[in-house]
Structure 1
Amino acid sequence: MMKARIAYLVCAAALLAVGLGAAPPAGAGAFPRAHVVLPGESIQRAVDAAGPGDTVFLAPGTYHESVKVTTPGITLRGSGESTVIEPGTTKAANSCAEGGNGICVVGTKDHDVKGVTVASLTVTGFARTGVFGMATDGLTVRNVTAVKNGVWGIAAERSVRSVFRMNTARDNGDAGLFLANTIKEEAGAADTEGTLVEHNRLEDNRIGITVRRLRNLTVAENHLTGNCAGVFVVGDENKPKAGAMTLRGNHIARNNKSCPKTARLDALQGSGIVLTGAEDTLVTHNRITGNVGTSPMSGGIVLFKSFVGTTSERNRITGNVLEGNAPADLVNADTGTGNTFDGNHCRASRPAGMC
């Protein structure tokens, strides 16, 4: 045990010496510290002891607990997929565990928690969400594998300037990656101030990526397959509307799992990209193939009125490659104005003439 601890301390010191991670926030100590956790030890205790700029390293192994992060500027980093966080067997010790979540990064109503990174670990088996961020600014989640969580693999609400990069979310009950303004009240779409979702793998979830009531973000170069729907952009009657985002360079193939109807959403199957109640969104240079289903929202790229009947407007669908999607590669089932389809490589559309 002592030899293992020394080895990981040496590793941690070396990583910090070469400058991994962001620079410490203003006001942090001159020398960021490394806190090393071994299997059987408490991650939460190390996180609570960490200050802004510090890194908590998790050795390979399985940890049975939920972890709540409220300190700005810290990094929680595992050793790759071999670092596994699962639900604890004892009574819940914090609100993250009580909510059925694995890792929670949480600010307050008045103050976002800034500059937190969660990286290089697996989180699995939680009743609700693997990694959950609320009221965050500059949250980074990268190289995280979120598997078989009850609702969402990775989720964030009331958050700005987030980065979700090179994660894998698989076999989660709802969305692999879920981003929203807020889930507890009605409100207009929030400006994410440039949130970036890129190079993630979303597989065998209900929905690969859900973007709900948000504006000003980019979803780029992700791989989505085996879900009921690939990318779902959700708006409604609230103002401002969802939209003003870019969906670019994603590979979306065979999202043909069948998911039953819910109280707020029709049955899903065979949907590549769906826009409902969205405006001013650019959908470009995506490759969308083999998405086949019998849902009202089935097809390669689909514009559809929202659950409450709000139309999509001024969206531009351009330069995409679509093959083998059914009932069609492009489907415009919306009555909104200003939506354009141009320069796409496809064979069939509804209505005809958009290819």
Structure 2
Amino acid sequence: MKRNHVRYAAFVAVLLGAAPGAFPASAISFPAAAAPRTLTVHPGQSIQKAVDAARAGDTVLVQAGTYHESVTVKTSGLTLRGVGPRTVIVPPRKKAVPGPRAAIGCVEGGKGICVVGLRNKPVARVTVSDLKLTGFSSVGLWSLATDRLTVQRVRAEKNGKWGISQEHSTRGVFRNNIALGNGDAGLYLANTTMSEKGATDSRGLVVEGNALEGNRNGLSVVRLRNLTVRRNYLTGNCAGMLVIGDENKPRAGALTVSENHVLRNNKYCAKTARLPFVQGSGIVLSGAESVLLTHNVVSGNSGRSPLSGGVVLFKGMVGVANDKNRVDENWITGNAPADLVNQNASKGSNLFRGNLCRVSVPAGLC
């Protein structure tokens, strides 16, 4: 038995060390990986048809022009790219009407681009870039159940609800986008909008270098944890940035907000079922914990709403306090009624240190 084992080991050694050409090429074969392709779409052609024909690793390149359609992406590893703001996607000319039992799809739901996976099998590593989405009744770009989605250099303008949004997703990157004049948030990131649940771990989501202007909220972060918001420009909104939690566990928060410019967000927005009227709000935390605000410039935000001010720790409609947040070394000036507002009953649970500011409520936070 031992002799057979030695002979087998020697045979394997010879096989692995055989010189090239020792075996005919047909003896061992491996499937060749399909080379990535670029599928180009010209005006008058269908973006959706190109997306449906694409495989993982392919790029759908959409040339300059106006395209009247909604596009759904369900293929992992796909890149959907335009050539800049001259690639414009607008609603279809004919409004789709779903049947009584039909699921509301991208076009029926009034959305421009939908990147959609399954809850137990997210669509992964999709990139959408270099195009404009405008005039949709709901959302310019909507994503659900994705992992490592990248959205960059997308202009989402004058859409009825959100400019760009994401739910039930992880490790997304939203970089160098413009969201302008959308009905609700320019950029909306949440665990879910269907129910109130504890915050979910975004696993390092990044929001960087975006310009969010003239929306109801520039950026809304709803019941999420573990993300970074940095170097964004937020102006002309009713509220620059909202970080919202509720009474469920785990709490929203555990995120870093740094090096953002939050200026003159003085647009007026009427009250909703969840919030009073909003005007003059820079950065608002509501029901959040362990948020670090550092090296931000927050200036010129002025209003008379309960949410008005530079950095506002708002007790929320359900009375959930903010806890263990740090507001460190920010430039917070020229905001009204105050630069810093802490509505929590306990002042000790949140720290305010090294900020350049003049007026706070209560006094002594500057």
- When normalised by structure 1's length, the TM-score is 0.91
Residue 317 of structure 1 aligns to a residue in which SS? Answer: strand
The answer as to 2:326 corresponding to 1:316 is yes
Unpaired runs of 5+ residues, structure 1, are 1-26
| Residue number in structure 2 paired with 1:217 | 227
What is the correspondence of 1:289-328 to structure 2 with a 5 Å cutoff?
289-328=299-338
User: 2 CA distance for matches of 1:203 and 1:331?
Assistant: 23
Q: Look at both structures and tell me which one has the larger radius of gyration over its CA atoms.
A: 2
Residue 195 of structure 1 aligns to a residue in which SS? Answer: strand
Compute the displacement of 1:323 (Å): 1.2
The answer as to 2:206 corresponding to 1:202 is no
Compute the displacement of 1:70 (Å): 0.3
User: 1 CA distance for matches of 2:308 and 2:50?
Assistant: 47
User: 2 CA distance for matches of 1:171 and 1:260?
Assistant: 16
User: 1 CA distance for matches of 2:298 and 2:83?
Assistant: 34
The counterpart of 1:36, out of the listed 24, 32, 40, is 40
Identity among equivalent pairs (%): 59
Q: Which amino acid aligns with 2:126?
A: V
| Residue number in structure 2 paired with 1:82 | 86
After superposition, what is the alpha-carbon deviation per residue over 1:281-308, rounded to whole angstroms, capped at 9, x for unaligned? 1000000110000000100000011221
* Contact map agreement 1:236 1:307 (CA 8 A) in 2: no
User: 1 CA distance for matches of 2:76 and 2:94?
Assistant: 28
| Residues 28 and 100 of structure 1: CA distance in aligned 2, closer, same or farther (over 3 Å) | farther
What is the correspondence of 1:1-355 to structure 2 with a 5 Å cutoff?
29-92=33-96, 95-336=105-346, 338-355=349-366
Residue 156 of structure 2 aligns to a residue in which SS? Answer: strand
* Contact map agreement 1:256 1:292 (CA 8 A) in 2: yes
User: 1 CA distance for matches of 2:202 and 2:121?
Assistant: 16
Q: Alpha carbon RMSD of aligned pairs, Å?
A: 1.3
Residue 239 of structure 1 aligns to a residue in which SS? Answer: coil
* Contact map agreement 2:141 2:165 (CA 8 A) in 1: yes
- When normalised by structure 2's length, the TM-score is 0.88
After superposition, what is the alpha-carbon deviation per residue over 1:312-339, rounded to whole angstroms, capped at 9, x for unaligned? 1000000000110000100101225510
Residue 35 of structure 1 aligns to a residue in which SS? Answer: strand
Residue 107 of structure 2 aligns to a residue in which SS? Answer: helix
* Contact map agreement 1:294 1:327 (CA 8 A) in 2: yes
* Contact map agreement 1:133 1:155 (CA 8 A) in 2: yes
User: 1 CA distance for matches of 2:32 and 2:272?
Assistant: 47
User: 2 CA distance for matches of 1:335 and 1:129?
Assistant: 38
Unpaired runs of 5+ residues, structure 2, are 1-30, 99-103
* Contact map agreement 1:28 1:51 (CA 8 A) in 2: no
Q: Which amino acid aligns with 2:327?
A: I
Compute the displacement of 1:108 (Å): 1.0
Residue 209 of structure 1 aligns to a residue in which SS? Answer: strand
- Matched residue count: 329
| Residues 28 and 292 of structure 1: CA distance in aligned 2, closer, same or farther (over 3 Å) | farther
Residue 96 of structure 1 aligns to a residue in which SS? Answer: coil
| Residues 118 and 28 of structure 1: CA distance in aligned 2, closer, same or farther (over 3 Å) | farther
Compute the displacement of 1:91 (Å): 4.4
User: 2 CA distance for matches of 1:299 and 1:181?
Assistant: 27
Q: Which amino acid aligns with 1:55?
A: T
Q: Which amino acid aligns with 1:226?
A: G
